[in-house]
Amino acid sequence: MEKLEQLYEGKAKKVFATENPELLIVSYKDDATAFNGLKKGTISGKGVINNRMSNFLMGKLLEPKGVATHFVEELNDRETVVKKVQIVPLEVIIRNISAGSFAKRYGVEEGIVFDEPTIEFSYKNDDLGDPLLNTYHALALKLATKEEIETIKSMAFQVNDALKAYFKTLGIDLVDFKLEFGRLSDGTIVLADEISPDTCRLWDDKTHEKLDKDRFRRDLGGVEDAYQEVMRRLMGE
Ligand code: ADP
Ligand code: UDP
């Protein structure tokens, strides 16, 4: 499968058309941004890790458990064929442990383990800074139907159950993560975008060392090593 014209360049990936109107090729970059694009940098080797990790988690872990995803085929280290979707403009965030904006917003420390996972939605809109919204707001803005929101919620919790259990076997606590969903041409909702240390908080379950993009956001150093360490535990390399 060949890349045709570039349709979009985002902060972390480029998206290309293919000869098949139902398929796209995504190409993962080493560019990193944080705080809605205010902080910019490069994490060497990140594109390769995020591509391979996302494909492994979607293709080998989630699809066999019945979670429909956009994943089709890994072409090479940085490029993957995915099903083209119309992205539902919601960032779906699941949390198992307090951290980041949750800790800040509610004035609690990081590291509180919740009895039940939480879910929240942000309106995926860079100009507005991805504002938090609830399902009534999403319906009022016609971002998705009631039925789609129900599907997205149940798929997101299913993803959490599978990922949380799997990461635990690698000695990693899945703290929180962001998912994006999309509609295939027939309207079916599938998991899209990526699952990677850019979009998940991953803490070593013994040392509580951060193995994710917070090392970049918070200038903790060892960013590349952290991404490599997750990859090593995940795929034995
Ligand atoms: P951003 O747009 O936030 O800068 P990226 O650099 O990751 O993010 O760009 C990838 C873009 O492609 C995102 O806008 C994402 O919503 C979109 N996307 C992800 N998967 C698909 C898909 N299967 N079909 C169409 N668009 C997708
Ligand atoms: N996240 C993301 N993209 C975003 C916002 C959040 O991938 O635009 C992920 C982030 O990596 C974390 C989770 O979603 O794993 C929860 O992020 P939070 O709301 O705490 O925001 P942050 O602290 O990143 O501002």
Place of tokens 């965030």: 93
Atom 15 of ligand 1: nearest residue by CA position: 193
Proximal ligand: closest to the CA of 39: 2
Pocket test for ligand 1, best of 22, 26, 180 (most atoms within 8 A of CB): 26
Q: Do 95 and 175 meet the contact criterion of CB atoms below 8 Å apart?
A: yes
Q: Does the pLDDT of residue 182 top 80, yes or no?
A: yes
183 Cα–ligand 1 center, Å: 13
pLDDT at residue 197 tops 90: yes
> How sure is the predictor about 236, in pLDDT bands with cuts at 50, 70 and 90?
confident
Provide mean pLDDT across the span 8-22: 98
HEC sequence for 108-161: CCCCCEEEEEEEEEEECCHHHCCCEECHHHHHHCCCCCHHHHHHHHHHHHHHHH
Q: SS3 of 11, please?
A: coil
pTM: 0.98
